[in-house]
């Protein structure tokens, strides 16, 4: 409730500024490239500029402190193998990630134009928000078991609307920056899929795989007999009964001239029940009959 209340209050304040300015300002005043607030700044414009510079420096220092730890955490997940070295800590601090963050920030500063840097930063934020909305949309639509949002009124359509809005704003700002951002996003996605790392947090890719597997299993027609696709592979372990063992020994003795072998006893009706119960030493030749029937599926049966 607090987060939604803060977002709603901020939205109302910003929109009220636009409405009030549009109500009292002339068209020439509102269409100026800059300088609308010069008359309202106290005590002077230079003081306001100094305050803006100090505020920007404080925000930059905050990002320099937070961004390396976030980058090191992403590298530690193992999702992007080229970034694994950034997860190494030196004295408990991610110094390698700090150096990488500094290089990225320095390259943006060396561009030398705020109007050129602003669209690039906007693309980074909008790409992050659009992928978050797309992820929430897919997880809600697929009903992934890992996805359990606390907001009771959440619906997957909200994530879809957020994704469409963020993507549309990206192309409205600059379509070239937008295409570059999406190409980079697809490249990162390809690296994540190729890595196939196991993580303990939810992912839309895991949800897609889970739903594909479930739909494939539930779509199988159990009543359909596809004998041409059935290839049973069986290992038949046949344990001779004691009387069969003695019978085979007597048979071998008779063959050697010691006497005539007695014929083996006929199988009783209780042998199959003994087989089902799993009694040791009570298997039955009906096992071979069942295996012969299964052999009609052109599978492999090995008896031992």
pLDDT at 93: 83
- What angle in degrees, to the nearest 10, is found between the helix axes of 114-142 and 204-218? 30
Query: Which residues of the chain fall short of a pLDDT of 70?
Result: 1, 146, 196-207, 220-232, 238-285, 294-301, 304
Residue for token digits 């192309």? 171
d(CA 97, CA 256): 85
pLDDT for 196: 66
Phi and psi at 257, nearest 5°, equal 100, 10
pLDDT tens track for 111-164:
888 788 888 889 989 999 999 898 888 888 877 776 778 777 788 888 899 999
Query: Minimal CA–CA distance to 274: which of 284, 286, 289?
Result: 284
Classified as helix, coil or strand, 298 is coil
What pLDDT shows up at residue 227?
A: 55
Residue 81 per-residue DSSP state? G
Q: Is residue 37 helix, strand or coil?
A: coil
Number of H helices, E strands in the chain: 11, 2
Task: For the full predicted model, state whether its pTM sits above 0.75.
Answer: no
Distance of alpha carbon 73 from alpha carbon 86, whole angstroms: 9
Q: Are 234 and 300 in contact (CB under 8 A)?
A: yes
Helix (H) or strand (E) holding 201: none
**131 within 8 A of 116, measured Cβ to Cβ:** no
Whether the Cβ atoms of residue 169 and residue 126 lie closer than 8 Å to each other = yes
Task: Identify the three-state secondary structure at position 93.
Answer: strand
**Looking at residue 110, what is its pLDDT?**
87
Closest to 140 (Cα-Cα) out of 232, 45, 207, 237: 207
75 CB-contact burial (10 Å; exposed 0-12 / middle 13-18 / buried 19+): buried
Dihedral sign of CA atoms 288, 294, 295, 301 in order: negative
Tokens encoding 79:
């999702």
Give dist(CA 1, CA 105) in Å, integer.
Answer: 35
């Amino acid at each position: 409730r607090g987060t939604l209340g803060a977002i709603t209050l901020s939205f109302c304040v910003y929109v009220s500024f636009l409405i009030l300015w549009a109500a009292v300002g002339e068209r020439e005043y509102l269409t100026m490239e800059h300088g609308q607030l010069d008359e309202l700044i106290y005590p002077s414009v230079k003081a306001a500029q100094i305050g803006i510079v100090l505020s920007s420096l404080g925000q930059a220092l905050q990002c320099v402190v937070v961004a390396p730890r976030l980058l090191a955490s992403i590298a530690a997940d193992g999702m992007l193998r080229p970034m694994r070295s950034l997860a190494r800590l030196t004295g408990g601090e991610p110094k390698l990630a700090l150096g990488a963050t500094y290089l990225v920030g320095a390259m943006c500063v060396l561009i030398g134009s705020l109007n050129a840097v602003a669209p690039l930063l906007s693309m980074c934020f909008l790409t992050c928000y659009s992928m978050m909305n797309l992820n929430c949309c897919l997880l809600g639509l697929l009903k992934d078991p890992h996805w359990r949002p606390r907001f009771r009124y959440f619906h997957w359509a909200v994530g879809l609307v957020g994704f469409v809005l963020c993507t549309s704003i990206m192309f409205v700002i600059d379509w070239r920056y937008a295409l570059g951002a999406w190409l980079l996003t697809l490249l990162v996605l390809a690296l994540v899929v190729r890595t196939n790392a196991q993580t303990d947090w939810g992912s839309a890719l895991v949800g897609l795989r889970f739903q594909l597997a479930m739909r494939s299993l539930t779509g199988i027609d159990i009543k359909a007999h596809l004998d041409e696709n059935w290839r049973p592979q069986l290992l038949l372990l046949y344990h001779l009964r004691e009387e069969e063992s003695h019978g085979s020994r007597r048979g071998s003795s008779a063959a050697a001239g010691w006497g005539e072998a007695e014929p083996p006893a006929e199988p009783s009706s209780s042998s199959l029940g003994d087989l089902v119960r799993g009694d040791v030493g009570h298997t039955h030749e009906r096992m071979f009959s069942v295996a012969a029937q299964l052999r009609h599926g052109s599978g492999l049966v090995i008896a031992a």
